[in-house]
A and B are shown apart, each in its own frame.
Chain A
Amino acid sequence: MAMQQPLLRVKNLTKYFPIRGGLFSREVARVHAVDGITFDILPGETLGLVGESGCGKSTTGRSILRLIEPTSGEVWFQDRNVTTLDKRSLRGLRKEMQIIFQDPYASLNPRMTVGSIIGEALVIHKLAPNRKAREERVVQLLETVGLSSEHLRRYPHEFSGGQRQRIGIARALAVSPKLIVCDEPVSALDVSVQAQVINLLEDLQHQFGLTYLFIAHDLSVVEHISTRVAVMYLGKIVEIALAKDLYTNPKHPYTEALLSAVPIPDPTVKRKRIILEGDVPSPINPPSGCRFHTRCAIRVPSCSRNEQELTQVSPGHWVACQVRTGVATA
């Protein structure tokens, strides 16, 4: 593979949410939602970001777009440092980076017609010279996502969940972005409709050369759509690899447990399941050293002391586990 310039580079991204309390609303604690993560996304690829609730995957997606302000770290989109842009330049960048949300019911304004929801961005970014041109573009977008011009003047409540998600996708596409953050785009949909939306996202990627950051908790969906996959646990990336590598040859004990927990829709498949003990610890007070050590079956004493760095174990396959990468120190 030739060296490609990444489209997006995330360096040591961190987001702490303060917990305020007491008389003067002082900060009494912090939720370590995202705690220093680093990754790249190459043009045209889909990077899957998986993990369980509260692991920081959605916070990561939103911090990249600065829908929430990161605490520290850098996000580079091509040659621009997103984290230092002023409001005005940030707005310009919205043409390049868009987002699709999980809940197709909450993310569309119920008082706006589908036409104005999709057309709003065209107005803001002055992408259509007049009303007629704008409407033509909106119809074109509706057709791209499998809806039609007759839907233009309808309101979101008239649509099913799958159709609303298509509207959300059309809205994201309106500005012809290069990168789309898909935040659990199919989690709220029924299985048969979920396949429709996944196929649509794949078609659009080929058609427009889109790059996706695909955030989801469903490992099967992520495996299906992603080129590479990053696994998060308590605000950290514990493993990142090509989708095929990660799923056939997981290295981190958490990834192994996660994969083995997915129920397989085939009663003849019998697997050894790794059942993790207990629950995910609180991100307010994450465990010291390796965050997973409290539930890990292969831990050694130093795991509770040493912070784990991502280490490359084979080309493109990075793991943050000192036991598996053989750098454990007693």
Chain B
Amino acid sequence: MPEPLLEVKGLKTHFYTDEGVVRAVDGIDITIHKGETLGIVGESGCGKSVTALSVMRLIPQPPGRITEGQILYNGKDLLKLPPAQMRKIRGKEISMIFQEPMTSLNPVFTVGEQIAEAIRLHEGLGRRDAMDKTVEMLRIVHIPNAERRVKEYPHQLSGGMRQRVMIAMALSCSPNLLIADEPTTALDVTIQAQILELLNELKAKLGMAIMLITHDMGVIAETAQRVVVMYAAEVVEEAQVTELFKEPLHPYTQGLLRSIPRIDLAATSRVRLEQIPGTVPTLRGDIKPGCRFAPRCALAKPMHFEQTPPLKEVRPGHKVACFLY
């Protein structure tokens, strides 16, 4: 039995705006085991990034608030920790990398100073030792001329290099869990390949668990062991990666997989893409009961608009929130 590292239970994160309550995350359960890569996939606004920020307790407050739920890290509820203790966990035991490496690095400090800051804070090293460790971290993420690069500012680096710096910073205190929020979305495809390769290599070397958030099914297929599919602030399906791609159960997951053009099937006939009609529902204000995907679902029955389907395990390790199962 794999040991759970992080258990998110019944998490609800809401934002109280002038135009009403936005239910960005609306009661989700997610478990990450030690050393595994869990992919969280979904479209813009489905709540995947808010989930990550909730785990890090980085939700801007106000307008945001975690209204319900638990986030158990090694059995300890992070939501109950005082800020000082949370700071000891954030960046040390759980760290995060973001989509846009330029906006997450401070432009007026050298990259070396920024990485060393975290090391000095969490590991209690002196200035000199911290800088040595920083150079070593840059080497681990394969930045050439690490001794020179530590003295450079973020604007002197390319997008791929900046993301490597972010990864070096996130891994400098050997975290148990790395949350990667769309780490390659802003990068070109050849650079994306480099970064994904690096993450896989570092995971094998350092043994941390990864929560990989992305909208790209291809990235999920190549890096994750288990996948959680989110739609409109809820988890609609969860399964092992091979099973999810072989036999997706939720009509949304099925639609998503059929709507992507497949480069590997180029030689076979060119078929029309399947499209999911309509758009994602707004999460502002009162949400009607019923399955949130029902208005776009070809298989929806009248009853599905009235009752909310629970997420239930229909096969070992394969959960789905759909009345059809």
Contact = CB atoms under 8 A, between A and B. Distances in A.
Interface stretch (A80-88, A172-180, A219-227, A305-313): A219-227
B190 A224 contact: no
B219 A263 contact: yes
B266 A223 contact: yes
B43 A191 contact: yes
B261 A224 contact: yes
Task: Select the residue from A192, A202, A268 with max chain B CB neighbours within 10 A.
Answer: A192
Contact of A263 (B161, B194, B218): B218
Interface of B: 43-44, 158, 160-161, 188-194, 196-197, 215-222, 241-242, 245-246, 255-257, 259-264, 266-267, 270, 272-277, 279-280
A219 B275 contact: no
A195 B263 contact: no
Contacts of B221: 263-267, 269
A247 B215 CA distance: 24
Contacts of B270: 224
Nearest to A282: B158
B279 A217 contact: no
A52 B188 contact: yes
Given A261-B192, A264-B221, A276-B194, A193 B160 contact: no
Nearest to A160: B279
A248 interface: yes
A223 B260 CA distance: 12
B158 A279 contact: yes
Given A190-B215, A275-B197, A266 B275 contact: no
Contacts of B257: 265
A258 interface: yes
A204 to B, nearest CB: 14
A126 interface: no
5 contacts: A52-B189, A195-B275, A258-B190, A263-B221, A280-B188
A245 to B, nearest CB: 10
A29 B266 CA distance: 42
A192 B277 CA distance: 8
A258 B189 contact: yes
Contacts of B264: 264, 266, 269
Contacts, number: 127
Nearest to B197: A275
Contacts of A264: 218, 221-222, 262-264
Main secondary structure of the interface of A (DSSP, over half): helix
A139 B192 CA distance: 43
A257 interface: yes
Interface in A227-280: 243-244, 247-248, 257-269, 273, 275-276, 279-280
A244 B264 CA distance: 11
A119 interface: no
A53 interface: yes
B192 to A, nearest CB: 7
A17 to B, nearest CB: 19
A262 B260 contact: no
A198 interface: yes
A162 interface: yes
Given A196-B275, A217-B189, A258-B189, A247 B263 contact: yes
Task: Select the residue from A193, A263, A268 with max chain B CB neighbours within 10 A.
Answer: A263
Closest 4 pairs between A and B when the two form their complex, measured CB to CB: A263-B218, A224-B261, A195-B259, A261-B193
